[in-house]
Structures are given as C-alpha cells and as structure tokens.
C-alpha cells in the first residue's frame, strides 16, 4: 500500500539532516566540461573534445586536471558513472570508423576494459559500485531487444531479462550488489525493478498500485530506490521505495508532476518538479526539510533557472541542469564553493554530448524534464 507520509519509525534508513546553509551554483562550462556524474571526492566524469583526439571519456579533479580515458579502439567514448575509488564506467566505439559501442570499466593503472555485449552490436554502462560491478543495457543477439545487464569482475556480463515485455535497462547498483532499473511489462508499459542474484527481477509496482507505469533512476547503499511513477490520476510523482515499507510520494513544488533522479547515502533525493506555473524546477528533498526548490535556496541565483537535478554525491554536491539562451549547461550546486577553474580555460563540449557523438543511449534517459 502506498503512503504519502511515513512515521519517524518508518524512516529507518534515512538520515534526518538539519536545515542546510546556503547553496552556491557553479557553472561548470567554466571548467571546460559538462559532467555526467561526480563522486564525493569531486572527481567528475563525462565526455569532452580533446584537441587532436576528438571526443573522449574523461575524469577531472582539481588537483590532477583532465585525464583522457581513451577508447576501446574507436573514435569516441563517454564516461557515465564514477565510484568512490575513481573508477569510471561508460561506453566507447570499438573500431575506427565503426558504429558499434561497448560498455567499459576504466581503472587507474589498468586502463579501459571492454565489457562486451549480450550478443548484439551495442552496450552501455550506467553505474559502477565499489567492487567494480557494472550495470547497464545491451542489445541482444540480432539486436532483437535491449536488456539490462550486470557485469562482475571474473564472471563477465549476464543479462537480467525483463518483466515480461521486450526491453529492460539497469541504471543503478549499490555496494551490496542490489541492481535497479526499468523493464517493459506484459501488455505494455514500464515498471521499476530490483534485482539480486538470489531473487532475480522483482516488479516494484508503483504509486498508483501494482499496475502503475513508472521508472527507476537510482539506488543508495540502504536499498532505497528513487524514480517516478504514475499516481493513477493522470499525474506522476517522484518516489522513494524502501524495502518493507514500499512507496512514498515526495510531493511537488506546487505543480502536478515530479521525478526523482538520484539519492545519496544520506537519504537526500534530487530531481525535477513542476511548480505552480507548470515550469520545471530542480529540487532537493530530505526527511527533515521535505522538497525544496534549488533555485530558492542558492545564494548566487539570477540569470538562470535550474530545471532538473540529475545527481548528488555522498558529499552533498549536486549536478543540476539549466536551460540558457545559448543552450543548456550543468551547474554544481554545493555548500562548498571552493572549486577553482583550470588556469587554461578550455571551451566546453556541445550541450547534448551523447547526441553530438551520435552514440546509442540504450536505456540511458536524458534527464531534462519532469514532463
């Protein structure tokens, strides 16, 4: 049964944080990149244009600057996730001039390891945990479908199947190996799932009941899953799902719809919600403060509107997107604005890197809007 409010006892795995100090928004275009992910050590990953090489997956941190992660033999690559050890997951073309892509895991001192596919042409990594377990999506034999996969060091890639429909995708994995994602279901529609080696795929249902349509976007080490689900009344809500408790609707910023895109180990959730005027606004939610508009709590606001928050590290750094007159950019929203741009300013890559590369996303969702 779905409940909009939890008692304090039911909040078990949430850490109730005090009201936070002012946030600051730092335009990451000034750093020469638009990242896909960041860890608590402020190592950013994504894809950028390296002069002489073209678009390559990168890892950037203040002390070391840019690290070009290379490719699997093709012309372009992109980083999509980073764990606390600085290991990067992503995808790369595999042959010069070719169009096939493979998921990869990059490790310092080891380099880039191709993870293969489930028999099809392309695969994409979406997340990596501290043990180097990678999850994502891959085309199956004959490119007949796209299925979620888990790849583990020493045992390789295993397809997770579906909830009865054609396609599925995995988007998150926690330290315990719990995998979350979204699958087509019999009869149409999609629903969020969790997967373990012991239980296989489990259909989570949704805010509107067992037949609700929804998607999962993230998981933390407490097993809390976030995403969006229809409520059964024509609207959809941002949710947190907790084992033994079920779904909690996080509400909205005054509008009809909301989506939760990420959760950290402190139980802080970020995403996008419509406000009372129907405009998309980035939010942060925690058990103590509820849902707050990031635009209302940043100390240096003005001239931009944060429309969606797509990631949050365990250190509390948030990646948030803004649609500007000259395109979109990514901001780091943080209480610690002690991030210094490189001395040699490098132009940022195009706003929509994956589209610019022409690479298939295979279940990765462009997290631009709550609509």
In sequence order, the β-bridge partners of residue 184 are 190
User: Residue 111: what pLDDT?
Assistant: 97
Look-up: residue for tokens 């976007």?
217
Q: Token match 């925690």: residue?
A: 286
Which of 25-29, 124-128, 338-342 has the highest average model confidence (pLDDT)? 124-128
pLDDT digits (tens, 9 = 90+) for 144-179: 999 999 999 999 999 999 999 999 999 999 999 999
What pLDDT, on the 0 to 100 scale, is given for residue 32?
A: 87
In the structure, what pLDDT confidence band is assigned to residue 369 with cuts at 50, 70 and 90?
A: very low
Strands 290-293 and 306-312: unpaired
| Two tokens, residue 345 | 């300013």
Q: What is the pLDDT of residues 188-240, one digit of tens each?
A: 999 999 999 999 999 999 999 888 999 999 999 999 999 999 999 999 999 99
Beta strands per DSSP E along 7-100: 24-27, 37-38, 44-50, 54-61, 65-68, 77-82, 88-93
Query: Which residue is associated with the tokens 């180097």?
Result: 132
pLDDT band for position 12 (50/70/90)?
very low
Domain ranges within the chain, ordered by starting residue: 19-357
How far is residue 335 CA from its own chain's centroid? 21
Those residues whose C-beta lies under 8 Å from the C-beta of residue 289, and which sit 6 or more positions away, are: 17, 19, 20
Strands (E), 70-141: 77-82, 88-93, 101-107, 111-114, 119-128, 134-140
What global pTM score does this model have?
Answer: 0.90
Whether 353 shows a pLDDT value over 90: the answer reads no
Do residues 55 and 47 lie in contact, with contact meaning Cβ atoms separated by under 8 Å?
Answer: yes
**Which has more confidence, 346 or 109?**
109
Spatial strand order of the sheet with 318-324 comes to 24-27, 327-334, 318-324, 306-312
Is the distance from CB of 305 to CB of 296 less than 8 angstroms? no
pLDDT > 70: what percent of the chain? 85
| Domain 19-357 class in CATH | mainly beta
């Amino acid at each position: 049964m779905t409940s909009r409010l939890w008692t304090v006892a039911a909040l078990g795995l949430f850490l109730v944080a005090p009201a936070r100090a002012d946030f600051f928004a730092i335009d990451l275009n000034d750093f020469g990149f638009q990242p896909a992910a960041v860890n608590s050590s402020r190592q950013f990953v994504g894809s950028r244009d390296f002069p002489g090489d073209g678009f390559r997956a990168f890892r950037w941190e203040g002390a070391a600057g840019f690290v070009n992660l290379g490719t699997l033999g093709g012309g372009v690559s992109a980083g999509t996730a980073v764990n606390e050890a600085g290991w990067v997951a992503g995808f790369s073309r595999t042959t010069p001039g070719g169009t096939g892509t493979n998921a990869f895991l990059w490790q310092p001192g080891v380099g880039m390891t191709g993870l293969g596919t489930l028999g099809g042409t392309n695969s994409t990594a979406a997340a990596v945990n501290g043990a180097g377990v990678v999850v994502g999506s891959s085309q199956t034999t004959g490119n007949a479908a796209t299925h979620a996969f888990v790849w583990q060091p020493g045992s390789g890639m295993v397809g997770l199947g579906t909830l009865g429909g054609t396609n599925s995708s995995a988007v998150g994995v926690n330290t315990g190996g719990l995998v979350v994602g979204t699958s087509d279901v019999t009869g149409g529609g999609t629903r969020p799932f969790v997967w373990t080696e012991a239980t296989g795929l489990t259909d989570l249902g949704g805010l509107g009941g067992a037949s609700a349509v929804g998607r999962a976007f993230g998981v933390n080490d407490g097993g809390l899953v976030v995403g969006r689900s229809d409520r059964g009344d024509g609207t959809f809500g941002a949710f947190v799902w907790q084992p033994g408790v079920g779904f909690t609707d996080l509400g909205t910023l005054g509008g009809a719809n909301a989506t939760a895109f990420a959760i950290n180990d402190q139980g802080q959730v970020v995403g996008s919600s419509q406000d009372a005027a129907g405009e998309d606004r980035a939010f942060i939610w925690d058990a103590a403060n509820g849902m707050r508009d990031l635009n209302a709590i940043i100390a240096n606001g003005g001239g931009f509107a944060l429309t969606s928050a797509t990631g949050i590290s365990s250190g509390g750094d948030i990646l948030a997107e803004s649609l500007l007159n000259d395109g979109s950019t990514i901001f780091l929203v943080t209480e610690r604005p002690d991030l210094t741009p490189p001395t040699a300013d490098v132009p940022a890559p195009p706003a929509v890197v994956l589209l610019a590369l022409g690479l298939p996303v295979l279940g990765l969702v462009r997290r631009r809007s709550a609509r």
